[in-house]
Structure 1
Amino acid sequence: MAIALPRHAGSVLLIVSATVLGLAGTDLVLPAVPGLPAVLGGDAAGAQLVLAGYTSGTACGLMLFGELGARFDQRRLLAGSLLAFALVSLLCRWVDAIEALIALRVLQGATGAAAAVFAPGLLRRLFDDGGAVRALGLLGSVEAMAPALAPVAGLWLLRLGGWQASFDLLALLGLLLAAIVWRLRRHLPLPPPVARGSGGYHRLAVDRVFLRYALSHACTLGGLLIFVFGAPTVFVTALGGSITDFIIMQIGGVAGFAIVSNLAGHIAQRFGAERTIMAGTALSAAGTAAMLAYALAGGATPLAVAAIFLSVNVGLGLRGPPGFHRAIVAARGDDARGAALAVVAILLTTSLGTAAVAPFITEGLVPLALGAFLVAGSGVLLLAVLPPLADRPD
């Protein structure tokens, strides 16, 4: 019998909150970035490194906590990482030079990465397979809303207390969550220790079953994010639209993703996880293909772009929870390293794809849609050629 989600609602809320705090490290600070050169020196390019530094630090932190989580108590590590995140956030607000802030942002990103590594494995231990997929759907929907809502809160904080206010809030929330996690750590599951000599990251990196789920997920989400990162420029410079059109697209996409991701667990139980994963991956890729066809036909209506993009979000919502859950299961007990590699794959796919499209971004919708399609379509190919979890011999 499936375990009902409300039974562990408090633990789920704690895990989700810690994960979202790491995401807020980018989006909450975003509105303050353009004004940083005026108060800390430097130029606009240096201010952008405040964002890039956090991302690079997060990538390093993912790998670090993936290794530590395979060796030590993840509950203690999570509490310690939140405390460190809070202290580094507090240091950020006292700097007086942009270079110092960039350096601290790398450290802030690294200390805030633990929850993203530990959350999938902790949720898996709290529930059976069906419950874990539903919990991951909830986590994914909240994570999708954070980039949309956090900048609004960041703008309010900027007006209320200047650029330091976002760091003050991050420090306060980090301290609060660290204390709660430490106090309630025994209510969180303790993953079994990973056997020494298990192969670590190398074993997972050459495991074709694990790669099936981790890389196909990275391609589906990466294709979506590549389009999102380039859409504001394309809307304004090529389609004659505005940032408002982009916001409309994002609101519709996030809503579609949130609804479907919370239904994905039930759909997977009804039709099977593999069918659900393939259907969602194919739907997302088909959405990018439709976007490319629309662009090649000369389409330039922002509302039409938003309507087509909805299918990309719905496809990700359908395949995301069961696909990521299967990636963790395919790690064969090495949950922390598995989650770390899966998230690093997303970051690399998105950053490389965005960099490849960037030189052509002012050319209009075609290059952006083509880049998203090539990446999202690769997810379908990976599912077609790599073996599923059910094929692994006992």
Structure 2
Amino acid sequence: MPATKILFSLLVLGTVLGLAGTDLVLPAIPSLPASLTGTIEQSQLVIATFVAGTAIGLLIFGELGARYDQRLLMLLALIAYGLLSLLATQVDSLSELISVRFFQGLSCSAPAVFAPGIIKSIFDERGALRAIGLMGSIESLTPALAPILGTWLLSMASWKSSFYLTAILAFTIAFIWAMMFSRIPKLKSKSNQQGYGSLLLNREFMVHSLSHACTLGGLLIFVFGAPTVIIRSMGGDLSDFVTMQIIGISLFIVSANCTHWFVEKLGRDNVILFGSLLTAAGCFSVFLYGLSSYNNPKALWLLFVPINLGLGLRGPPGFHRAVVAAGENDARGAAVLILAILATAAIGTAISAAFIEEGLTPLACVAFLFALSSPLILLLFKSHLSQHALK
């Protein structure tokens, strides 16, 4: 149905726009002190405050989405994101930009919170798995392509150009969303009194959320530390990291868009477990390579393959399973799930940062321990989950 495809496209564009809020601005960060009053340390906060705003926004919109019409909240958030993007172009100092960026990050978190519930309402289970896989594939391209676009915009105009582009896109999505308003399912939780506490007591939701967060967190921990390790410890350059990412993202896209076939053949829980084990095995292979006497960064191109294949296989059914387990509390559920992913990646990155000068081995070790936690969590609670499996 054309309306369904348009609605799904809007959800994808909305979530991608939120992700691009960091990566699109990233190339301009080093030059901001020369354009605005402030220091290089403050320019780093332009990114940090956006991420902090996003994290808080996840919880706020998770709560609001459980109480009010998500269609209207989505529209208002997109308009706010566009207005704040325009406001960012009018600041005179980095301190002012930092303040705007916090609220910009807060407003951009709405699509990520509402998209899973809306997708669940407009597709059957098979269609939802395919939709989430496709969304994840497109989103995975954002960290790779957005900085390139941001660099081009910076060279053609100024640091303000990325904010103008963000504003135009946000207003465009909001306009189309408003035009389709009556065709969008009206979603609002019927369990308003449950709150976030009910999710923490929902064992099935917590098991699948933590398992998903550990798998994705393991990958992110490695990716966040890889550039430093490749350049400072392995004698490589940024092109080695870029090549590794291109290979990894390509294979993630392939496996994520085939996962519905594997689910039909092998069963959802088996695919989730296998994907988790594959990612953990990939991280372990990198750890073993770090222990060896070899130090060629190009070896990571191959070793990174199973990590991405595993995430691609378990990503769509794992994410969908966690949101379904939240029941009618899916807005809060999506918020908690995404927040768990951010927290896992942040904690693991902070731990590995203390040993980053030691090279590949400690980074891979931290990533492996987090990735291994994912299948262990599933196996530990397997008997409980099998009794409550969703048909």
Same fold (TM over 0.5): yes
Aligned with residue 323 of structure 2, among 316, 328, 332: 328
Contact 2:273 2:378 in 1 (8 A): yes
Match of 2:221 in 1: 226
Q: Which residue of 2 aligns with 1:131?
A: 127
List aligned pairs for 1:1-394, cutoff 5 A: 8-197=4-193, 199-387=194-382, 389-392=385-388
Q: Runs of 4 or more off by more than 3 Å in structure 1?
A: 387-390
Deviation for aligned residue 1:127:
0.7
How many residues matched? 389
Residue by residue over 1:241-283, the C-alpha shift from the partner in whole angstroms, topping out at 9 and shown as x without a partner, is: 0000000000001001011101111211111000000000000
In 2, Cα distance between equivalents of 1:194 and 1:156: 47
Are residues 106 and 345 of structure 1, via their aligned partners in 2, closer, same or farther at CA, if it must alter by over 3 Å? same
- Paired with 2:218 and 2:343, the residues of 1 have a C-alpha distance of 12
Question: Does the 8 Å CA contact 1:209/1:389 hold for their aligned counterparts?
Answer: yes
Deviation of 1:6 (Å): 6.8
Distance in 2 between the 1:182 and 1:287 partners?
44
The superposition leaves residues 356-393 of structure 1 with CA deviations (integer Å, 9 ceiling, x where unpaired) of: 11121111101110110011111111111125655228
> Taking structure 1 as reference, are residues 54 and 134 closer, same or farther at Cα in structure 2, changes over 3 Å only?
same
Q: Deviations over 1:47-70 (max 9, x none)?
A: 111111110000000000000000
CA shift digits 1:50-105 (9 cap, x unpaired): 11111000000000000000011111110110000000111111111111111111
Measured after TM superposition, the shift of residue 212 of structure 1 is 1.3
RMSD (CA atoms) = 1.4
CA distance in 2, matches of 1:56, 1:116: 15
Between the aligned partners of 1:41 and 1:363, the Cα distance in structure 2 is: 37
Instruction: Tell me by how many angstroms 1:192 deviates.
Output: 4.7
Q: How far apart, in 2, do the equivalents of 1:305 and 1:259 lie?
A: 19
Give the % identical residues: 48
| Counterpart amino acid of residue 341 in structure 1 | V
Q: Is the 8 A contact 2:86 2:163 kept in 1?
A: yes
Alpha-carbon distance between aligned partners in 2 of 1:44 and 1:309, rounded to the nearest angstrom: 33
Distance in 2 between residues matched to 1:80 and 1:131, nearest whole Å: 28
| Rounded Cα–Cα distance in structure 2 between residues aligned with 1:297 and 1:233 | 19
| Uncovered stretches (5+) of structure 1, i.e. residues with no partner | none
Deviation of 1:41 after TM superposition, in Å, equals: 3.0
Q: Report the secondary structure of 1:333's partner residue.
A: helix
TM-score (norm 1): 0.96
Amino acid paired to 1:315 = G
